[in-house]
Structure 1
């Protein structure tokens, strides 16, 4: 049974966001939501816009084309004292609220826990009752591959410091797989850290797209050529990214057989969704099998995952540094029969948040982002310059901004991501608002973040893996985050289930606030951009992290005594 998509109602041509200062809605909050929804489906941004799929295997921006059109119409007529309610990609209610309430509230993929299985979700999806929103796909704040770029860059930088006592991965060989919308950040993140990376991807067109965009240096379908390039670059200590057209379930075991052990191994295939992970076989036949016999397709996917992960574990035994990048590959491997648990009932290789990112979460840092609704890249350049002036003491931030401004292509609406912590998010938000007011920036700016943040996710296989107090699966925190951002006046808020790691494995919240240049908006920006990372610090204080306790005292984050 196929889900109803109403392809005949798809707007003609490619969808691209409106730009400039002219309103198509009755206020800038609704206008920003409309433009970001459209930007999510820009063919330069989305992985498969015809299917409304933005990234992450099956993460969609709207349930189907009929509901997309209804959302657009609702946003265009939304009053300043109304809130549009979106239920899994479908507009269901325009609520009377007030001027400072969110203009849009989104809930995606949420299922009562007892029924929260992939099988039930698939059935509801086929009935047209829900959709998979991933994280920023269904909350309309995806900014293309750049959205995960700095997180991957920060992770690899932490690998260099933790394992090699270095600020660089020069002469280090990174092996990974996946080069879709999010995973396509891996090649550039590695070369920004001066590493050599081999990224295996089954779909040739995805590698070619990343090469054309500048995220990846080279493409080949020949493993011998890929290995030659990688080893030459490693010897010469020259950063290089190579996209190899192939299947990790074949390539990784072949590297083991050849006694080639990378320095670092990770993975960003869409393993969280067995319907999106591609097993060994002919791509055309597999695409047909997925539609004709999903159960058999899943069986083959698990069989390939077993080969894929057994090779990773063998590389780890031979000395490779291995970490999970939060795509649920480890749990799927366990389902496939791989002995992947250690004696403490944890996984034999740990997740990237547990290993490298949690100290940043403890101080309220996370993937803060913004997009220029003017459509003019000069607005992003102006904000880049302002950041360098505002935070001169943050050397890592300055290095990132300088690298990103040189290397990251503009795809869709001009945007930027940078990891900012408690206090600095609010400062920058206020400054951007003043730049809009003064005309230094030509139109309002959308400010948001990934759902992968310090206090907005409960995800035991990723953001909250291995919490000090054992609270990995406690999901009160993202609910508190969602509510705080709504009552403090975010432009739109969202609450999703399953993003990144699959149905049944996570709950997470998102927020967006528009800097429209008004005095009233400055106060809302201060409130929202303070409480959003604030609840993240509180979450880690509650879990017993000393670094979070110290930052709470330093920044005067109020924790009940």
Structure 2
């Protein structure tokens, strides 16, 4: 069983991620309205009456090897230590709290309806109490890790805030990027996102089919697309996201452009990606945490990425702070390109969607990762600094 927390606005996808992989999940959130909204949107299966009920239902699903997610209202700084004290058998512990701003974390002892007023009137006192609670929260996570659970966080600064709250083992567990994602970054893989400007979900269905046809042997991709089709509701314009790497994103982009040109898709498709990506970020608390060469905070890479995407013909390029870990703690470069069915769009898409992930391969070669060196050699990625 996995136990996860979503005390802020970042935890909605966690229960769905677990259940799509046939896991049992117990998610903790201080706000009952957030939990109920997740049930309504099918990200969460049910909300338990109390912690006893949540534990019983989660363990039953685990015993039956049935994908199921259970939410419970509570503060992780209290619930996590209690789960640890009871010895509940938990395999994975993670956190997706928006902790980079302590005012966004509800301290123990403060009611939900007191949150905004307290944080506004007494921000320094609120911050101190939030950090004390985060210290308890993270200490319990370390306790689970000491007991054998796989433990990590989303890189939203809760470990550093817990350190400031007085807990000296706050960095005993890693963020999810150095723990799991960096080998994918070395291959130029990251979140590839597209939006149907028509507003018609049928256009996304066409692009889904194109992606599945392009990569018939990618079982994880197929599982994700089918799960997303079944479980994820549209919010605003219909959109989709998946993980594609160097040598794949350009294929998808050109296929989408062909769909628009042929009329199978009724309006242009806008193609971008998440700010979490392989070669466009300097973020020591997440994407570039614990780089092999110690280059965690070097911001040259997102700047170079932005310049490369501008020169390659991206429709929109941005440089921005934050991206989930707070202003001043990261630098991100974003790009968006439009597939409008024209030959010019095809030329731009081919360049941007090759060079953008290619920067990820180059960045990780420069940092000394052998996987990236192998990818560069095998797929013909030019490494200027090696010439």
Q: Normalising to structure 1: TM-score of the pair?
A: 0.67
Task: Name the residue aligned to 1:365.
Answer: 189
Q: How many residues end up aligned between the 2 structures?
A: 384
Alignment of 1:516 with 2:345, yes or no, is no
Task: Name the residue aligned to 2:313.
Answer: 489
Whether the 8 Å CA contact 2:10–2:98 is kept in 1: the answer is no
TM-fit CA distance, 1:406: 1.9
Q: How do residues 76-87 of structure 1 correspond to structure 2 at under 5 angstroms? A: none
TM-fit CA distance, 1:530: 1.1
Task: Name the residue aligned to 2:163.
Answer: 334
Distance 2:327 2:213 in 1: 43
Task: Name the residue aligned to 1:309.
Answer: 138
List per-residue Cα deviations over 1:361-414 (Å, max 9, x = no partner): 001000001011111111111111111111112222222222222222222111
Alignment of 1:407 with 2:231, yes or no, is yes
Q: How do residues 77-476 of structure 1 correspond to structure 2 at under 5 angstroms? A: 173-178=1-6, 181-280=9-108, 281-340=110-169, 347-476=171-300
Distance 1:397 1:310 in 2: 35
TM-fit CA distance, 1:325: 1.4
List per-residue Cα deviations over 1:308-347 (Å, max 9, x = no partner): 1111111111221111211111111100010216xxxxx2
TM-fit CA distance, 1:221: 4.4
Structure 1 unmatched runs, 5+: 1-172, 342-346
TM-fit CA distance, 1:504: 2.8
Distance 1:183 1:255 in 2: 19
TM-fit CA distance, 1:234: 1.2
Distance 1:424 1:541 in 2: 19
Distance 1:261 1:232 in 2: 12
Query: SS at the partner of 1:332?
Result: helix
Distance 2:115 2:221 in 1: 43
TM-fit CA distance, 1:499: 2.0
| Greater CA drift, 176-185 or 471-480 | 176-185
Structure 2 unmatched runs, 5+: none
Query: SS at the partner of 2:319?
Result: strand
Query: SS at the partner of 2:104?
Result: coil
Query: SS at the partner of 1:250?
Result: helix
Alignment root-mean-square deviation, CA: 1.3
Distance 1:334 1:255 in 2: 22
Distance 1:412 1:537 in 2: 33
Whether the 8 Å CA contact 1:179–1:206 is kept in 2: the answer is no
Distance 1:537 1:558 in 2: 10
Distance 2:6 2:222 in 1: 29
Whether the 8 Å CA contact 2:98–2:156 is kept in 1: the answer is yes
Structure whose residues are more often helix by fraction:
2
Whether the 8 Å CA contact 1:371–1:447 is kept in 2: the answer is yes
Q: Normalising to structure 2: TM-score of the pair?
A: 0.96
Distance 1:483 1:277 in 2: 36
Distance 2:146 2:342 in 1: 58
Query: SS at the partner of 1:526?
Result: helix
Distance 1:410 1:458 in 2: 31
Whether the 8 Å CA contact 1:365–1:422 is kept in 2: the answer is yes
